[in-house]
Amino acid sequence: MNTLFAIALVFVGCCSNVVFLELLVRDFPGCGNIVTFAQFAFIALEGFIFETHFGRKKPHIPLSNYVIMVTMFFTVSVINNYALNFNIAMPLHMIFRSGSLIANMILGIIILKKRYSASKYLSIMLVSLGIFICTIMSAKQVSVEKGATEEDGFYAFMHWILGIAMLTFALLMSARMGIFQETLYKKYGKHSKEALFYNHFLPLPGFLLLSTDIYRHAVLFSQSSPVEIPVIGQSVPVMWLYLLMNVITQYVCIRGVFILTTECASLTVTLVVTLRKFLSLIISILYFHNPFTAWHWVGTAVVFLGTLLYTEVWSSIRAAMKGEKADKKAE
């Protein structure tokens, strides 16, 4: 029951979150900082009340380790959202972030000296190929669509290249953070909810560096067209409503993943998250009419095929089917 509930939270929360994020970004492409700040503040407040009991509960993992983790987490979150300022379409943003498997494997080989099976290397090649296809096709669209003159087109393309570089850096930094978390959990045990709180609470002072941009977008949000909330009959600027829903759905998504990690094997979690990403991509393309060519579909299919191959879903399904057949024969 808990597993089904967690899966429902992941799909409803994460897919709805993508919708509200796209609604925000379409009107204000540079609103990444205020979105990140709102998400961090909400999750930090919830954790302060329910996880640390208003600061009375001491952490299991030393704060010095959390400071290192938080620095990486804050950097990744800000850069991922800020990259949307650089002509990065939401579908490409989602596909690119699906390349976390590549970064994890590369850094696992370099830092942890891990070795992988041939199927793992094949899956990573497929994911890399899929992302490469989608990226190249998106680059062509930027060159054609963004500038009327050749000079404008070149400027738009270089702007886009900078966005891709930011996503690449965030991908590698996220993988490095995952390896750091893995070593911490081995030493101190798993404390996912505690880590969730400190990852969102400790970076809050860092948003002072972004306060000017956050305030500017807060003013712009306040000037957006009003919309009436049915239950309370009160009108609020529509962008603030979108931001509130984005924050709530982000929290629902994270809580769903947290419950799932405690109830299911990591393979199941990876499969659910992968399918959720695919559904979010479909929603982004169909609902918001984002440009998506046949080659984009090919690239997307290759990315998700590689992801499923990496998680050994097919092997698990075959093993389960063989187990069922063996049980029937025994009967």
Task: Transcribe 71-130 into DSSP letters.
Answer: HHHHHHHHHHHHGGGTT--HHHHHHHHTTHHHHHHHHHHHHS-----HHHHHHHHHHHHH
Most confident of the following: 93-97, 243-247, 280-284, 294-298: 243-247
84: confidence class by pLDDT, cuts 50, 70, 90 = confident
For residue 145, pLDDT beyond 60 = no
pLDDT at 102 over 80: no
pLDDT of 326 reads 56
Give residue 1's pLDDT. Answer: 59
Residue 113: left (phi > 0), alpha (psi -120 to 50), or beta?
left
- Report the pLDDT averaged over residues 5-33: 88
Confidence band for 208, pLDDT divided at 50, 70 and 90: very high
Q: Among the listed ranges 2-11, 36-45, 73-82, 136-145, which one has the minimum average pLDDT value?
A: 136-145
Q: What is the mean pLDDT of the chain?
A: 81
Within 10 Å of residue 49's Cβ, how many Cβ atoms? 12
Determine the Cα–Cα distance for residues 143 and 158; give it in Å rounded to an integer: 10
- Between 181 and 316, the more confident residue is 181
Six token digits for residue 75: 């950097």
Find all residues with CB under 8 Å of 14, minimum gap 6, and list them: 249, 253, 256, 276, 280
pLDDT score of 222: 95
Report phi then psi at 129, rounded to 5. Answer: -65, -45
Q: What distance in Å separates the CA atoms of residue 325 and residue 282, rounded to the nearest whole number?
A: 36
What proportion of the chain, given as a percentage, has pLDDT over 70?
Answer: 85
Say if residue 29's pLDDT is above 90.
Answer: no
Whether the CB-CB separation of 28 and 21 falls below 8 Å is answered with: no
Using pLDDT thresholds of 50, 70 and 90, give the confidence band for residue 90: confident
Query: Chain centroid to CA 124: how far?
Result: 19
| Residue 186 pLDDT grade (very low, low, confident, very high; cuts 50, 70, 90) | confident
45 pLDDT more than 90: yes
- Write the Ramachandran bin of 226: left for phi over 0, alpha for psi from -120 to 50, otherwise beta: beta
Rounded to 5°, the CA angle 77-288-73 comes to 5
Q: 72: which 2 tokens?
A: 């990486």
In the predicted structure, residue 246 carries a pLDDT above the cut 90: yes
Whole-angstrom Cα distance, residue 82 to residue 91? 15
